[in-house]
Amino acid sequence: MAWTKSRPWSKGHKYKAKKISVAGYSFQSQGEARLYEFLRLRECAGEISDIQVQDHVYLTKARILYIPDFKVFDHGLGDFSWEEFKGFETDTWRIKRRLWLNYGPGILNVWKANRAGVYLHETIKPKGKSDEG
């Protein structure tokens, strides 16, 4: 029997995302890694600081755990914001988006990618925080 590079017993990621390592971090997709590199450029430019990977946020009194890709201190806002890369919008994401809208601790920026790079797709401001900033 000849071995091939493909492994028939390994189905891979459901959405064909490929894990990638950048700067000592392992990311779930190339898009998420590209967002990290973009955030590092913004950090070098002085727009943001304190990049945290995989921050844990509990939403609702039931403590529903949501793990955004990044948490950064945004100097323009004078506060923290959370950054999320989305390649596909799943049913689970739609639920967590609504939870963030009602219970999130601050702004959640949702990023997508195209051939040119990452771009800001949506900014979610929790209802209780929409009057601030």
**pLDDT for position 13:** 52
> What pLDDT is stored for residue 100 in this prediction?
97
- Domain segments of the chain: what residues? 26-129
pLDDT at 23: 73
User: Nearest CA to 102 among 120, 125, 72, 76?
Assistant: 125
- pTM score of the predicted model: 0.80
Any residues with CB less than 8 A from the CB of 76 and at least 6 apart, and which? 47
**What residue has token string 């939403």?**
59
The pLDDT value recorded for residue 122 is 96
Per-residue confidence in pLDDT tens, the chain, 133 aa: 444 444 455 555 555 566 777 777 778 788 899 999 999 999 999 999 999 999 999 999 999 999 999 999 999 999 999 999 999 899 999 999 999 999 999 999 999 999 999 999 999 999 976 444 4
